[in-house]
Structure 1
Amino acid sequence: MKTGEKKQHWAKKKEEKKIIVPKFRNFFRLATVSHILTFIFGAVLIYSLFFSDFLRINDVDLTGNNSIPSEQLNTAIENELNAKYWKIFSRGNFIFLNSSKLERNLKTQFKKIKKISVEKKFPSRLKIEMEERNLILFLCSRGDCYFIDENGYAYKKANSSEMENQGGPIVKLIDGSGKDINEGEYVLLPRYVDFIIKIEEAVKTETGLEILNEYRTESRISEEVIVQTKKGWDIYLNSKFPIEKSVYTLKTLLNRQIMLKELNDLEYIDLRSENKVFYRMIGGVV
């Protein structure tokens, strides 16, 4: 190659290098800007999703709490929402909120809740539906009393003020056996509970007798119950037999064999045996 051609070839390569370097620099600048924009977008997205108020639960719709005050429920819910995971992420965030855990915590704090459903509504609403337990009676043993629902479930220990402030007379069943009552367990059979709550109305309707709301049982396992009339004598019943049949037997006995003037002399009437009835007068057995 001649000297002139060499110089021309070298000049051409130099010119190509000058073109390539600016192109590379422009690409690098664009890539850097793109990375920065992606980082900014990601940071904004993360902040919006996890730390801003956009997905913060701020509207709670409660239904089904007939006796549990809404103020108490809202306070408990707010405490749950204000807590944090690892002291960083709010539990009140729509994404982080664990509906199942909130349901468990509320049932633990409020024993009267029988069923509860927590549903998240995007972006910041909670819909909470619950069903409360029905207080049917108090079961007492060795001085301790518990709230019992229609299924025989002991859902909460009751103090004297709670027992007095129920808005009406509630049956109190005293277990003379002294057997422990465990909170959070089924301690009475549902059919036994159903039998107990029917006694007062059935006796009054068929015989006109009024009974006290404090019942007794020698052992709740036996499913027997002793009620006392306002005249002072007792009626022994067995839930294995329909209350209607037992009360009919009681009515027949009172109408046929015991004169009304003798009722004050009664000690008890025993209806625990099928097709048999026993009664005792004060001072003797008949």
Structure 2
Amino acid sequence: MKPYRIKRKKSILKIFKSRVFWLGVLVLLAFCGIFYLISFSSFFQIKEIKIMGNQKISSETLENSIKKEIVRKIVFYNSKSIFLAQLNKIRKNLLKEYPQAARADLKRIFPDKISLKIQERKPIAIFCPAESGTEKCFLLDREGIIFEPAENNFSGLPKIVGNIGSLNLGEKALESNYLEYILEIKGKLAENQKIEIKEFIPSEKKLTVITFDGWQIFFDPRGNVPDQILNLNLILNEKIPPEERGNLEYIDLRFGNKVYRKFR
């Protein structure tokens, strides 16, 4: 038994004398030191959140949302390390929480700051549900996304009536190319005939334009806007003078150069 113990002691001594062993110890200590520095050093703990670009969304609420996201649990301790902040996850959660935000750009500013640049959605139309009994309307941005309830001070925007179903704020209510089509028609009608529009009712094969005078115009959403406007101008200028438009029910522009009209 004694020779075995001597051999065992010699093998342990060899390990402690080995350069590889001490190199491994140094690497482990360096790793632990770096891990502590990255995770828990006060030098790299996030102390300030800079917020830019927001106008409607409160800076305080944005900051509070980010503060909740930057805390990471490591074993039994909390860390707000700038290295551990998951900026992409924070960005996605901010866009989900604040539908008024079209973009949220987050950046690290070493050693202890995060910057947030918000780009808010700009309303270009009002979207109102076609479902009966629902009076609440929403602001619509250029992407066709509803992002907040519409107030009375947005009366100058075009009104679009459509099926909203179970849509939530931040979701698409209308395809952006269809919205551009509606805006182009609105501009042409105001420019050429000074026609005041009450509302637009889009569908797959027909865009219904209801005027404040009570008559309607049917457009083909798959057709060319300038051609349909040209046909409208021709029939209004040559066939339907302003004094007769009070009895007009509709003008249908969906069939090329064949324009149909109906009086009450």
Smaller-chain TM-score bracket: 0.7 to 0.9
Q: SS at 2:254's partner residue?
A: coil
Q: Does 1:249 align with 2:231?
A: yes
Stretches of structure 2 lacking an aligned partner (at least 5 in a row): 1-29
2:95 aligns with one of 77, 89, 107: 107
Residue deviations 1:110-158 (CA, integer Å, cap 9, x gap): 1132332211111111122343333333252423755543233x354x5
Aligned residues: 231
Return the letter of the residue paired with 1:216: I
Which whole-Å CA distance do the structure 1 matches of 2:225 and 2:210 have between them? 16
CA-atom RMSD in angstroms: 3.2
2:165 aligns with one of 159, 171, 180: 180
Return the letter of the residue paired with 1:238: D
Q: Does 1:149 align with 2:141?
A: yes
- 1:125 matched residue in structure 2: 113
| 1:1-286 superposed matches below 5 A | 49-51=38-40, 53-81=42-70, 83-85=71-73, 88-90=77-79, 92-137=80-125, 138=127, 140-142=129-131, 143=134, 147-152=139-144, 154-156=145-147, 158=148, 162-164=149-151, 167-175=154-162, 178=163, 180=165, 182-183=167-168, 186-212=172-198, 214-217=199-202, 220-222=203-205, 224-282=206-264
Which TM-score applies when normalising by structure 2? 0.73
Which TM-score applies when normalising by structure 1? 0.68
Residue deviations 1:261-280 (CA, integer Å, cap 9, x gap): 11111111111222121111
With over 3 angstroms needed to count, the CA separation of the structure-2 counterparts of 1:263 and 1:49, relative to structure 1, is same
Stretches of structure 1 lacking an aligned partner (at least 5 in a row): 1-40
Which whole-Å CA distance do the structure 2 matches of 1:102 and 1:44 have between them? 28
- Deviation of 1:42 after TM superposition, in Å, equals 10
Greater Rg by CA: 1
With over 3 angstroms needed to count, the CA separation of the structure-2 counterparts of 1:209 and 1:45, relative to structure 1, is closer
Residue deviations 1:185-236 (CA, integer Å, cap 9, x gap): 5453322110112222210110122111x2223xx333x2212222111111
With over 3 angstroms needed to count, the CA separation of the structure-2 counterparts of 1:181 and 1:273, relative to structure 1, is farther
Range with greater deviation from structure 2 (113-122 or 258-267): 113-122
Return the letter of the residue paired with 1:88: Y
Return the letter of the residue paired with 1:78: K
